[in-house]
Amino acid sequence: MFQLDDQQTQARSWFEHLRDLICAEFEAIEREAGSDATFDYLAWDRADPSGDPGGGGVRGVMKGRVFEKVGVNVSTVGGTFEGEFGRTIHGAGEDPRFFATGISLVAHMANPHVPAVHMNTRFLRTTKQWFGGGADLNPPLPVAEDTADFHATLRAACERHDAGYYPRFKEWADEYFYIPHRKVHRGVGGIFYDHLESDFARDLAFTKDVGRAFLDTYPRIVRRRMNDAFTADDLAEQRRWRGRYAEFNLVYDRGTLFGLKTGGNIDAILMSLPPVANWD
């Protein structure tokens, strides 16, 4: 692993700590459902095109009774962008060197009444440095109570830092998590932010609260719905919806593109894809 400075170390340590908290909570839910499923972890290393050490990460995947497939990945990578891709990245137009560390999570659930979810937060440095990320809820069968719970918890986290964050970042999520060729939103939204670069300590504190808010609200929603009865029609709707989710991640998602363009681990990058999906 290449040498990290204090800020890079703080960010990486938080993302790894958050991973541990989330995975422990998800495994506890599996225990409550009578399952002994646990996360399977695979470490990977990245080779940078420059020949210097390029970092790496750990892919964590669990397949259980409640979580049909959930991936929780952390990575810390750096080096140089290749070709024209660097010119599309904030601050990398004239200097292709970069650093990135973050956590990425996608959960696809066995029960179609339990919403799938995505969460990602990250810290990047080029000639500039910033935090980004967010969380969004993706129910095949939306329930108003769950949507309200998810948004209220994220709103409270945002308002502890800036009264303008929630409306701004909610709107950004609504715009980002949209499938233009289908003319539909991917789910019921959440928050999305990027290029948050006002002050490292302040922005890290906010990013930590986003992670804590996710850990507060999503397990509560899972426990609320995981024992609901469902029908074959419900399952069919879930699988149709998963097809839309896969389309978004493969065609539009920036994180998928960033991972592929920077030589990340393919299995970790594509862990967001659902285990079973239908296209009718």
196's CB contacts (< 8 A; 6+ apart) are 130, 131, 132, 203, 206, 207
Closest CA relative to residue 190, chosen from 146, 151, 133, 159: 151
Alpha-carbon gap, residue 150 to 147, rounded angstroms:
5
Q: Which of 108, 113, 118, 185 is catalytic?
A: 118
Contact 102, 133 (CB under 8 A): yes
Is 17 known to be catalytic? no
Tell how far CA 64 is from the center of its chain.
Answer: 20
Which amino acid would we find at residue 48? D
Alpha-carbon gap, residue 114 to 221, rounded angstroms:
7
- Catalogue the active-site residues: 118
